[in-house]
Amino acid sequence: MNQLNEQLRTLRLGHAAKGLEQQREQLSTYAELTFEERLSLLLESEVLGRSRARIERLKRQAKLRIDASPNQLIYKEDRGLKRIQLSELLTGSYLLKHQNILITGPTGAGKTYVACALATQACEQTYSVRYYVLIGTNMEPVHLHLMEPLYWQLMEPLHLHLIDPPD
């Protein structure tokens, strides 16, 4: 049986190997299943494990400033967040349409949190994201620099670039 685990790991099917160990530990649960059903469960475990690992890798690579969750957004009137508008953005349709989002508001309004929540949701939908903080004392040249086409050609080919200017 250890040989089977080693073979699964050699084939880089680590999640399936964990699923097999689970089946062995809970033999009474899986004893009545056919070979095909058990194999299907192992492969499903592998697919789900790889999917979760990919999403976690995308979140790490995004280097988000805040660990923001879309379901923790607060829709108070004074914040000016519109639930319907944000719900549409959370679907990721703007990414498919190659549209930009500009989040504005006073200091402390939660712009960074909303942006990071949108980025987290994009990662969950397996889009590649990168968070940038602009550093500079005079914002005018930074904005002009960002408008140059060459700048965008040199940037990483990602689905979503978050650019957060300092307050």
Three-state secondary structure of 103-159:
CCCCCCCCHHHHHHHHHHHHHHCCCCEEEEECCCCCHHHHHHHHHCHHHHHHCCCCC
CA-wise closest residue to 17 among 26, 27, 7: 7
pLDDT tens digits, 19-35: 999 998 998 888 889 99
What is the Cα–Cα distance from 114 to 7, expressed in whole angstroms?
Answer: 45
Burial class (CB in 10 A: 0-12, 13-18, 19+), 148: exposed
R_g of the chain, CA atoms, integer Å: 22
Query: Residue 100 — very low, low, confident or very high, per pLDDT cuts 50/70/90?
Result: confident
pLDDT higher at 41 or 138: 41
Residue 166 has pLDDT above 70, yes or no: no
pTM of the model: 0.74
User: What residues contact 121, with CB distance under 8 A and at least 6 apart?
Assistant: 70, 90, 92
Rounded Cα gap, residues 17 and 1, in angstroms: 11
Give the per-residue pLDDT at 157.
67
* CA atoms of 17 and 13, how far apart (whole Å): 6
Q: Over the stretch 76-86, which tens digit does the pLDDT of each residue have?
A: 877 778 889 89
| Torsion on CA atoms 55, 58, 60, 62, rounded to nearest 10 | -140
On average, the pLDDT of the chain sits at: 83
Percent of the chain having pLDDT more than 70? 82
Q: What tokens appear for 87 in the block? A: 């719900």
**Residue in the structure block whose two tokens are 């649960």:** 29
